[in-house]
Structure 1
């Protein structure tokens, strides 16, 4: 986003509010809908701006569609810089990974650099990195060429898509026939596993740390084989034929630790059952289901209320595993949830982890999170005040 900002009309903000109220907002990321709505326009966050404007800007505080922090050039230690020398496109792929984890991922075949390159009509795409560890599938595509637009992901919306907007000017810019679109944008790729299209939760957008690349990530993969042919088809605006990459993917069958406790913890009217923890050198996957009304603390009364339940993971080496994306709903929590989330990797020598359930506190007048803070650049410094429910903590043994 530009530093100099102009206000969005109130009616546009009200419409955004309606659209996101019942949609989980990634608190460490930015949804593609919000990016499409406000990412490409100039805005001003005025001191006396509306509550809706403030909420929208908070939701869009990190300017990437996918989500997650990154290994930025200014934050790479000498040790990590050495480990990453041979890995192009430092960015979203390496979120939450230290240099040792990256090296182990390379050694185990989880992270590869195909560097396959295809050129069509003056545009070159390179499949730079592929990561598959059994819990997520990610890849980066770099774009080079002459007279290309500054941004890499396509800002256009398909003509057949229904847009709930009265902003005809904005609609005319993003929803135009293909033959009138600017050349050179990468459209969200299609992915195939052994020639069968992959149907899973998908994110697509800018690759943090590499301004000339896009990043695609799939989670909630279901059951994929340890060995398969990955096909990536990426279309570029004003180029008729798609760019197609085919690369083999193979990981070891013993690269993943799977724990299935099926243990239940209860407190007041709330309970959750931990079904599975999957651990690799790059990620930790937490699968559980919960039922009942979330417990409220003494501070969560009146107009203040708890959110849905969230789950922090801490291993016995003292490492707090950051959650890759933390969804937030602008309404009261449901009574049942099926949680399937990714976190940072567990420390290699850890023998156990502790699950620490917690809630945020919201003001039900506007659904703002109490304690949420962003800096002048719009980067989130605090997601909000957490209330831990010690009665619901659970220790899980990983190794004897």
Structure 2
């Protein structure tokens, strides 16, 4: 018996290469092109890690070669979908999506790959991915050109910007006239329009894509009511480039969102919360609630310790905790009123109900540091020790 089994990521890469050789390509036979690229991307194979690095780059190139021919055509093999999630360079827009969810998202039009490109002054920008599931809108833009800066988002401050930063040297370093700025940065946050109207959202994110070099990712989490079919316009500009970049792509989804509005309240002492709405799509779960009152403290959260604000886990009917997309912590005393509007991973199909499990973390008010935060036994970052409040748990049936 082999005492050194093939690691999962190596098996996935083997399957991908086999799939490339055995599949019937939708536009001519591209397997020769792909395998030629594999030969051209020779890298040292001194360690298993370097071997994987080489194959990861190759596989990322494969996806680029296939492009709209496979992914955009509405077909992602299980092997390819699984591999996408593990290849550096694919992008964080796939974050939290399982193999089935990726395929479902493509089938329903939720996930698309426009691959629209615009070139100005030697720099090409490509709107590579768009995800809209009825509750959040995400997109990624890739940058290509000679001698690009290491990061994508501009580090510069406007010359007339007012800042409370007391580090005058830092401010001086980042207030650089446009004519002296290094070429190739995304100059400002992209402007996003829906059917020609600028998106107005209080909760959004722009920045370097942590999973994909030379790319930025944008995400809107609070969009209000949008149609299932619209024209998406994304405008942006680059430092050192006079002409702006504009992309226009159609978006049309098969919206099968599940929406429940329990308006149910749970109370513990002076604290209470009311779940206003729970939305479930094939890629996202959204929880909206209001809370008021001082959070209850356990025996361990007295004296030199105290509880944080209230947080909320969503647990499905199989006991699986949905991963929260962003987890906010504030180094200060909790407020007594909150409006929570948070995104979590998608629910599995045919989930009958979910349970909301409120919890707090334990902190030291002397410096507001979190007790138990650090590296967990599984090697992943641990937010801290959770204190669940049983009497605040709420079971919510889903109208499937």
TM band (smaller chain): 0.7 to 0.9
Aligned residue in 2 for 1:234? 236
Q: Kindly tell me: are residues 393 and 380 of structure 1, through their superposed partners in 2, closer, same or farther at Cα, counting changes over 3 Å?
A: same
Deviations 1:195-230 (A, max 9, x none): 111111221111122112111111111112211110
Helix, strand or coil: the match of 1:228? Answer: strand
TM alignment of 1:132-281, pairs within 5 A: 132-187=132-187, 188-200=189-201, 201-253=203-255, 255-281=256-282
- Which stretches in structure 1 are left out of the alignment for 5+ residues? 1-72
1:283 is matched with which residue? 284
CA distance in 2, matches of 1:319, 1:288: 21
Per the alignment, residue 33 of structure 1 pairs with none
Partner of 2:364: 363
Is structure 2 residue 389 aligned with structure 1 residue 394? no
Distance 1:252 1:172, change over 3 A: same
- How do 1:76-91 residues align onto structure 2 when only pairs under 5 Å count? 81-83=79-81, 90-91=90-91
The 1:335–1:86 alpha-carbon spacing in structure 2 relative to 1, beyond 3 Å, is closer
Cα distance between partner residues in 2 of 1:395 and 1:179: 59
Match of 2:321 in 1: 320
Count of aligned pairs between the two proteins: 322
Q: Check 1:164–1:380 CA distance in 2 against 1; reply closer, same or farther (3 A cut).
A: farther
Give the C-alpha shift of residue 173 in structure 1. Answer: 2.1
String of CA shifts for 1:9-63, please: whole Å, max 9, x gaps.
xxxxxxxxxxxxxxxxxxxxxxxxxxxxxxxxxxxxxxxxxxxxxxxxxxxxxxx
- Give the TM-score of the pair, scaled to structure 1: 0.77
Deviation at 1:172, TM superposition (A): 2.1
After TM superposition, give the deviation of residue 269 of structure 1 in Å. 0.8
In terms of fraction of residues, the more helix-rich structure is: 2
8 Å contact kept, 1:97–1:282: yes
In 2, Cα distance between the equivalents of 1:90 and 1:353? 31
Q: Larger C-alpha radius of gyration, 1 or 2?
A: 2
Q: Are the equivalent residues in 2 in contact too, given 1:126–1:142 (CA < 8 A)? A: yes
1:302 aligns with 2:300: no
Find the residue that maps to 1:230 and give its secondary structure: strand
* Distance change >3 Å, CA 86–CA 318, structure 1 → 2: closer
Residue number in structure 2 paired with 1:23? none
Gaps of 5+ in 2: 1-55, 60-75
- In 2, the alpha carbon distance for the partners of 1:220 and 1:245 equals 22
| Bigger proportion of residues as strand | 1
Aligned mates of 2:104, 2:280 — CA distance in 1 = 14
Normalising by the residue count of structure 2, what TM-score does the alignment of the two structures yield?
A: 0.77
Compared CA separation, residues 343 and 146, structure 1 to 2 (3 A) = same
Match status 1:112 vs 2:112: yes
Following superposition, the deviation at residue 380 of structure 1 comes to: 5.9
Per-residue CA deviations over 1:378-399 (Å, capped at 9, x if unaligned) read x962100100000000001014
Assess if the C-alpha contact under 8 Å between 1:80 and 1:98 holds in 2.
no
CA shift, 1:349, in A, is: 2.3
Aligned to 2:63: none
Q: Which residue does 1:130 correspond to in 2?
A: 130
Deviation at 1:317, TM superposition (A): 2.3
Which 10-residue stretch deviates more, 186-195 or 128-137? 186-195
Q: Could you report, residue by residue, the CA deviation over 1:117-136 in whole angstroms, capped at 9, with x for unpaired residues?
A: 01000000000000001111
Pair 1:333 & 2:334 matched: yes
